[in-house]
Amino acid sequence: MNYTTQMDAAKKGIITRQMELVAQKERMEVTRLRDLIAEGKVVIPANKHHTSLAPEGVGAGLRTKINVNLGVSKDCCDLDLELEKARKAIDLKAEAIMDLSCYGKTQEFRRKLIDFSPAMIGTVPMYDAVGMLDKELKDITADEFFQVVERHAQDGVDFMTIHCGINRATAERIKRNKRLTHIVSRGGSLLFAWMELNQRENPFYEQYDRLLDLCEQYDVTISLGDACRPGCIQDATDASQIEELITLGELTKRAWERNVQVMIEGPGHMALNEIAGNMMLEKRLCHGAPFYVLGPLVTDVAPGYDHITSAIGGAIAAANGADFLCYVTPAEHLRLPDLEDMKEGIIASRIAAHAADIAKGIPGAREWDNAMSAARADVNFPKMIELAIDPEKARRYRESSAPEAEDTCTMCGKMCPMKNMKKLMNGEDLCIK
């Protein structure tokens, strides 16, 4: 039986190779996974042209996934460095990489990335439009925007962030209800500017069916971008954000009618006490579609440490229903991240995702922690390092400060409670002088 997309296959009762692989990874019955895809509650972003892909699922009942942003800009245009970052991100078990390149040989970089990456690849075509077309923003036509989207789809991009939900009505609301940080979404601000400069409707909203045609043809998952996401905690959960979310819910249903897979993007910056409510609103207004969040960052005063502010918010968001975390690095708001920034961001996001998976009862999540606890009780440092989320750093710390006895560390020494309790429970004597 033929099918066009993973969702189309699921609705027809077909179990695809991608579904089988994801079900195995997730310890889920493949028929259950298929049903969740048919309902739109799980997506498997898998462009038909991405042949190196090791597919992953995003959504209800699955492990929380993380995404890594990279790509060149006019100020930092080292393609080799960005490819090195991509390889490192894959080594660190990131499930997705978003190429946010906006300058130079963007297609060359994108194709190289897709050729070797087993991680799913996402892009924001709006970023690429100005550079690729070499035109002023106001002079780009609607047809040219769609040409950029089609080129990304042909190259094998698995999911695209497209800001379809910011229309002229929402733009007017933003102007009437002043925000502290206005629009902080780069793609959203570009579309807002295009609409204002041309006094025309957002082409991705106005010609949404045309976008769905392309997504259906290549099985590209739409990540419905949140142009009105809050860029500071003061702007969170305001009228503009919620109005756009309602529109995204309507667009989700239209995509599902065409068997196009959908994710919803969310905040942003947000106080701790608003996170759970926002996750509930998204799931309700967008009919259970997978939710992809940037952070949320829970305070605005920690530049240089925003991988931590993001991990705090991300853990709470995922525990309350978010399915996909976009990493944030220590360089957020300051500069393009380097390799070490990227690593710190990935590890922080993976910790947040895993903490949420424990809270959500994802199969296998607690087993990892229990294995680490057993190694600690056994005072087995090699095993602890092997099980660490970042074995390299754990090993470096261990080797940097040698204890008197190998089965202790330099904090507790012979007073190590794990070592002493192990001896006592085995009926052995103690010598802690």
Do the annotations mark residue 310 as ligand-binding?
Answer: no
Rounded to the nearest angstrom, the gap between the alpha carbon of residue 358 and the centroid of all alpha carbons in its chain is: 18
Listing DSSP states for 182-199 in one string gives ----HHHHHHHHHHHHHT
Do the annotations mark residue 187 as ligand-binding?
Answer: yes
What single-letter DSSP state applies at residue 346?
H
The Cα 403–Cα 330 span in angstroms is 32
Helix (H, G, I), strand (E, B) or coil at 219: coil
Do the annotations mark residue 390 as ligand-binding?
Answer: no
Do the annotations mark residue 366 as ligand-binding?
Answer: no
99, burial (CB in 10 Å: exposed 0-12, middle 13-18, buried 19+): buried
Find tokens 């997506």 and name the residue.
43
Q: Which two tokens stand for residue 358?
A: 């424990």
Contact 314, 295 (CB under 8 A): yes
* Amino acid code (one letter) for 76: C
Do the annotations mark residue 69 as ligand-binding?
Answer: yes
Do the annotations mark residue 213 as ligand-binding?
Answer: no
Listing DSSP states for 351-405 in one string gives HHHHHHHHHHT-TTHHHHHHHHHHHHHTT-HHHHHHHSSSHHHHHHHHHTS--SS
Do the annotations mark residue 412 as ligand-binding?
Answer: yes
Query: Measured between alpha carbons, how far is residue 218 from residues 224, 275, 331, 414, 423 in Å?
Result: 17, 34, 34, 62, 62
Do the annotations mark residue 185 as ligand-binding?
Answer: yes
Do the annotations mark residue 431 as ligand-binding?
Answer: no
Which residues pair with residue 68 across a beta bridge? 97
Do the annotations mark residue 164 as ligand-binding?
Answer: no
What single-letter DSSP state applies at residue 249?
H
Relative to beta strand 42-43, strand 58-59 is antiparallel
Do the annotations mark residue 215 as ligand-binding?
Answer: no
Neighbours of 369 (CB within 10 A): 13
Do the annotations mark residue 265 as ligand-binding?
Answer: yes
The Cα 322–Cα 316 span in angstroms is 9
Q: Which two tokens stand for residue 430?
A: 């103690």
Rounded to the nearest angstrom, the gap between the alpha carbon of residue 112 and the centroid of all alpha carbons in its chain is: 21
Contact 180, 232 (CB under 8 A): yes
Binding residues: 69, 98, 127, 163, 185-187, 226-229, 265, 269, 292, 333, 409, 412, 416
The binding site for Zn(2+) comprises: 269, 333
Summarize the annotated binding site for substrate as residue ranges.
Answer: 69, 98, 127, 163, 185-187, 226-229, 265, 292
Q: From the annotation, which residues make up the binding site for [4Fe-4S] cluster?
A: 409, 412, 416
